[in-house]
């Protein structure tokens, strides 16, 4: 989604913001732009990849710049709707992430005062409002404009009269300030500026920041100066290479054994629950997330309920926010509800909103997140940080596996502390989890057979994925992966549900991917496969090694290594990811940046 970067310092600003902007490309965008200050402000913006804008970018010696990648919400992707937006005199340039909910009213008022707008973007009201309130002080002008605006936003502004100054603010969307030596940075994503500095300030909502090359001032909404903390963040290993893989997604799929390994230390050390503040009796757990993270949450429900006596519900973040209060809130503090928010990016607006609701309701909150310092990690009571490394491909892969691993670890430790499992069982589970990287490697070593299988899917208009019990969420995830990167319609279903409707859609052209592991649902699943085969539907089954029956009833059977069915979602996820990848590859889609999608979804 939209990205913002800014620089004020003693070097040429344009190459710095351009490089930082390119680090945000992975988030998804449709146009980009840069504003610098020469004698006057110079704005260059273009629809399409950053390279389009770069090809027409005039040379600049400016030491001040703001830049933006846009992901359209109001107004189609176009040069004119791209940011930065300016006022009619071209003295102000503004970049904005988020949405201005009341922009139509503001626009109407300003138009009645004679202001002429150039674009269809909600963001263009910002330079207009700031101009209206400007009388020499940009901080004051922005503050007055904020009184009128409703919505969520990160805003950065520069003005022709202030050759060294960027003024910025955020409300519910990300903004970080990077502190340098005679130079300062801002960005909507820490990855954009970590190459330049690890000294980071995380402003609070509605604080206004004035950055110059030599100073940083933070103001509250009454414009009193307030203190701020500078945090030193971990040095970051830049991910810019595909390491010999054709796409980041494929590289990230192959990185999964390492991602699980690296996350283990965080998860399986002694007393992780105390670290999370969970030293009390948990009455119930609500898991809240979106998309792939939601699917990890569904797997987590099965695991936690199996290992503990704690009931778990799983909600989409966008629904949780408007649902009835979590049960048990206001009850005895000795048995409190716990809300687990899962977000690989830590910036998903729906999940952040849900976190706030949960806290307002008095729930204890923990986040499972892959980005240190991200917004969600700062808004919850405890954090499980997965260590997948940066994920560039828009489709979540390695972060999904480490999220599941985190939930298994949580389940095991809750099971042990609540007395549902004993110490030898705790150790047995930990040891099984430690074996997962090698199980994944076995699936990865078999990727050629999945590639060969992919050819069967490319002509399909629709594909069904079915599973039962703990692998029903994997059917959902298989369908999500396929549709987002290959654009083939796909649906995930509990295998037992097909006969209640969707069976009507099955035909020779509608393959089904069925997950048949040998748990207590196995025989029913085999019957479901037979029902589908009877409709001449090609059935591709994922089964455990040596399962002759599954081979017999299916058109093709992919064997996962021997594994406890409870842990089978891990190798199965790898199969699903590779299948989608190879189908999309055959179809020639933009795998790392699928159309209309963004890596970090910062609007609700
Ligand atoms: C799918 C995918 C999305 C995300 C969802 C939540 O491959 O990546 O469905 O899972 O947008 O994102 P996070 O986990 O960052 O909150």
Tell me: do 427 and 457 sit in the same domain: no
Distance in Å, CA 478 to ligand 1 centroid:
14
Is the pLDDT assigned to residue 330 strictly greater than 80? no
- Per-residue burial over 391-407, b if 16 or more Cβ lie within 10 Å, else e, is bbbbbbbbbbbbbbbbb
Residue with the two structure tokens 């206001």: 330
Within a domain: 383: yes
Based on the residue annotation, tell me whether 225 is a catalytic residue of this protein.
no
Tell me how crowded residue 573 is: count the other CB atoms within 10 A of its CB. Answer: 29
Q: What is the pLDDT of residue 333?
A: 43
Q: To which residue do tokens 């009184």 refer? A: 147
Which of residues 184, 205, 232 is at a domain's end?
Answer: 232
Domain shared by 304 and 165, yes or no? no
Domain containing residue 370: CATH number:
3.40.50.10490
Query: Prior bond to 84 cis, omega within 30?
Result: yes
Given 2, 44, 369, 557, the catalytic residue = 2
Q: At residue 171, does pLDDT exceed 50? A: yes
Read off the CATH number of the domain in which 118 is found: 3.60.20.10
pLDDT value for 267: 66
Residue that is last in its domain, among 174, 201, 232: 232
H/E segment holding residue 6: strand 3-8
- Is residue 238, in this structure, part of any structural domain at all? no
Residues 430 and 464 in one domain: no
The three-state secondary structure class of 177 is strand
Mean pLDDT of 135-151: 96
Q: Is 498 exposed, middle or buried (0-12, 13-18, 19+ CB in 10 A)?
A: buried
Task: Tell me the pLDDT band of 331, cut-offs 50, 70 and 90.
Answer: very low
| pLDDT greater at residue 535 or residue 449 | 449
Q: Above 80 in pLDDT, residue 234?
A: no
Distance CA 176, CA 233 (A): 12
* 193 vs 304: CA distance, rounded Å: 38
The number of folded domains in the chain is 3
Closest listed residue to residue 140, CA positions, set 104, 165, 105, 177 = 165
Do 455 and 420 share a domain, yes or no?
no
Question: Is 109 in the same domain as 252?
Answer: no
Asked whether residue 17 falls in the same domain as residue 110, the answer is: yes
Q: Judge if 68 and 180 occupy the same domain.
A: yes
Residue 77 lies in a domain: yes
pLDDT at 55: 95
Residues 182-195 have pLDDT tens digits of 999 999 988 899 88
Find the residues whose C-beta lies inside 6 A of ligand 1.
290-293, 343-345, 348, 351, 395-396, 480, 484, 601
- Section 90-114 average pLDDT: 94
Same domain? For 29 and 79 the reply is yes
> 397 CA distance to ligand 1 centroid (A)?
10
State whether 227 and 311 are in the same domain.
no
In this prediction, residue 328 carries a pLDDT of 57
pTM for the model: 0.82
Report yes or no on 102 lying in a domain.
yes
Per-residue model confidence as pLDDT tens digits over 63-74: 999 999 998 888
Alpha helices in 57-214 (DSSP H): 103-112, 125-133, 138-146
The rounded mean pLDDT for the chain is 92
In a shared domain, residues 403 and 536: no
Give the end of a domain, one of 205, 232, 259: 232
237 belongs to a structural domain: no
pLDDT at 279: 81
Given a cut of 80, whether residue 15 has pLDDT beyond it is yes
- Do 341 and 198 share a structural domain? no
Q: How far is the CA of 248 from the centre of ligand 1 (A)?
A: 16
Ranges of H-type helices in 371-471: 398-417, 423-434, 436-444, 447-454
- Structural domain range at position 51: 3-232
The confidence score (pLDDT) of residue 268 equals 60
168 inside domain? yes
Main-chain dihedrals φ then ψ at residue 456, nearest 5 degrees: -70, -15
> Is 599 marked active-site?
yes
pLDDT class for 487, splitting at 50, 70, 90? very high
HEC assignment per residue over 314-333? EEEHHHHCCCCCCCCCCCCC
Predicted confidence band at 601 (pLDDT cuts at 50, 70, 90)? Answer: confident
Note whether residue 604 is domain-resident. Answer: no
CA nearest to 268, candidates 410, 363, 383: 410
Q: Do the domain assignments include residue 195?
A: yes
Calculate the alpha carbon distances from 380 to 60, 263, 599 in Å.
43, 20, 22
What residues contact 136, with CB distance under 8 A and at least 6 apart? 161
Please check whether residues 64 and 104 belong to one and the same domain: yes
């Amino acid at each position: 989604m939209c990205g913002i970067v800014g620089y004020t310092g003693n070097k040429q600003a344009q190459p710095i913001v351009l490089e930082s902007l390119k680090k945000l490309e992975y988030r998804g965008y449709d146009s980009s732009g840069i504003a610098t200050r020469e004698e006057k402000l110079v704005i260059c913006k273009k629809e399409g990849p950053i390279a389009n804008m770069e090809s027409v970018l005039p040379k600049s010696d400016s030491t001040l710049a703001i830049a933006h990648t846009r992901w359209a919400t109001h107004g189609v992707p176009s040069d004119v709707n791209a940011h930065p937006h300016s006022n009619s005199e071209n003295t102000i340039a503004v970049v904005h992430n988020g949405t201005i909910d009341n922009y139509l009213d503001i626009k109407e008022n300003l138009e009645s005062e004679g202001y002429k707008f150039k674009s269809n973007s909600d963001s263009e009201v910002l330079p207009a409002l700031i101009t209206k309130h400007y009388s020499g002080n940009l901080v004051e002008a922005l503050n007055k404009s904020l009184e009128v605006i409703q919505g969520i936003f990160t805003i950065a502004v520069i003005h022709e009269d202030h050759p060294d100054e960027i003024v910025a603010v955020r409300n519910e969307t990300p903004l970080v300030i990077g502190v340098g030596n005679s130079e300062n940075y801002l960005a909507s994503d820490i990855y954009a500026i970590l190459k330049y500095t690890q000294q980071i300030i995380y402003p609070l909502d509605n604080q206004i920041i004035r950055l110059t090359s030599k100073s940083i001032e933070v103001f509250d909404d009454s414009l009193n100066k307030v203190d701020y903390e500078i945090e030193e963040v971990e040095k970051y290993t830049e991910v810019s290479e595909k390491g010999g893989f054709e796409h980041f997604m494929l590289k990230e799929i192959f990185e999964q054994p390492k991602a699980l390994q690296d996350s283990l230390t965080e998860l399986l050390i002694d007393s992780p629950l105390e670290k999370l503040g969970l030293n009390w009796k948990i009455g119930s757990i609500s898991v809240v997330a979106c998309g792939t993270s939601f699917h990890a949450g569904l797997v987590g429900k099965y695991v936690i309920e199996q290992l503990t006596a704690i009931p778990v519900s799983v909600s989409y973040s966008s629904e949780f926010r408007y649902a009835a209060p979590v049960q048990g809130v206001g009850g005895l503090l000795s048995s409190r509800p716990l809300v687990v928010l899962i977000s690989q990016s830590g910036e998903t607006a729906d999940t952040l909103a849900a976190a706030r609701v949960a806290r307002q309701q008095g729930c204890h909150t923990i986040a499972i997140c892959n980005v240190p310092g991200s917004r969600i990690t700062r808004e919850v009571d405890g954090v499980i940080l997965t260590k997948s490394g940066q994920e560039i491909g828009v489709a979540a892969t390695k972060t999904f596996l480490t999220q599941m691993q985190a939930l298994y670890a949580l389940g095991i430790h809750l099971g042990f502390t609540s007395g549902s499992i004993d110490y030898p069982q705790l150790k047995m589970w930990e040891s099984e989890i430690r074996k997962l990287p090698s199980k994944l490697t076995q699936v990865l070593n078999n990727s050629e057979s999945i590639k060969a299988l992919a050819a069967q899917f490319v002509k399909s208009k629709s594909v069904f994925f079915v599973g039962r019990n703990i692998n029903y969420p994997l059917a959902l995830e298989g369908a999500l992966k396929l549709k987002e990167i290959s654009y083939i319609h796909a649906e995930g279903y509990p295998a037992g549900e097909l006969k209640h409707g969707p069976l009507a859609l099955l035909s020779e052209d509608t393959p089904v991917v069925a997950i048949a592991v040998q748990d207590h649902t196995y025989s029913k699943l085999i019957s479901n496969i037979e029902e589908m085969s009877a409709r001449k539907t090609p059935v591709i089954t994922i089964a455990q090694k040596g399962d002759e029956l599954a081979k017999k009833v299916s058109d093709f059977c992919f064997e996962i290594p021997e594994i406890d069915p409870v842990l089978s979602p891990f190798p199965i996820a790898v199969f699903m990811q590779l299948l989608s990848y190879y189908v999309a590859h055959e179809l020639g889609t933009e795998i790392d940046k699928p159309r209309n999608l963004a890596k970090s979804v910062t609007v609700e």
